[in-house]
Amino acid sequence: MVLAAAEELAQGADLEQAIARAEAIRERTYLYVVLDTLKYLAMSGRVGHLAAGLAGVLNVKPILTIRDGKLDMLEKVRTRKKAWARIAQLTQEALGGRAIERAALLNVVNPAERRQDFENTLRAALPLPEALLEVELTPGLSVHAGSGVLGLALVAAE
């Protein structure tokens, strides 16, 4: 949304037009993120310590999304690979046959091989654009999620 507003401004639009473009894109924007652990959500009090411990033992990977402007837990899936496949499936459902206008891979301290495996999983299932934005989230943004976070943000075509 920020990129769309900035592009609008760069083309000579006024601030109101840029805001309108960003708001229009919001309805077509989707975000799915897989956490590697619930440990940090438990430390912040957002999840109980017992639930986080059991999730760790069972290798549960929560999938988060944006609902009503807030980050919310969508599902819990066992194993990282199944969570990645579920993100691809959720994205296909959200797209409803539309193309992807723009996409970004989100990452918090993952090895290059894991990031590439995630991208390969998504590319095998989705019509991702050739050029993807790669966004490394900083510790300040990921304080409640910890390292190992991988995600996909996208804008569906109109």
pLDDT digits (tens, 9 = 90+) for 76-126: 899 999 999 999 999 999 999 999 999 999 999 899 999 999 999 999 999
Q: Which domain holds residue 32?
A: 28-156
Report how far apart, in Å, the C-alpha atoms of 87 and of each of 55, 65, 90, 100 are: 19, 10, 5, 15
User: 41 falls in which pLDDT band (50, 70, 90)?
Assistant: low
Residue 42 has pLDDT above 80, yes or no: no
Residue 39 has pLDDT above 90, yes or no: no
Residue 102 lies in a domain: yes
Residue 14 lies in a domain: no
Residue 8 lies in a domain: no
Residue 18 lies in a domain: no
Q: Quote the pTM value.
A: 0.84
User: How many domains does one find in the chain?
Assistant: 1
Of 44, 41, 89, 88, nearest in space to 62 by CA:
41
Residue 114 lies in a domain: yes
Residue 22 has pLDDT above 60, yes or no: yes
Q: Residue 109: count other Cβ atoms within 10 Å of its Cβ.
A: 13
For the residues 135-158, what does the mean pLDDT come to?
A: 83
Instruction: Judge whether 100 and 128 are in contact, CB under 8 Å.
Output: yes
For the residues 16-32, what does the mean pLDDT come to?
A: 90
Query: Which CATH number covers residue 84?
Result: 3.30.1180.10
Report the pLDDT value the prediction gives residue 151, as an integer from 0 to 100: 95
Q: State the greatest distance between any 2 C-alpha atoms of the chain, in Å, as a whole number.
A: 54
Residue 113 lies in a domain: yes
Please count the residues of the chain: 158
Instruction: Judge whether 63 and 75 are in contact, CB under 8 Å.
Output: yes
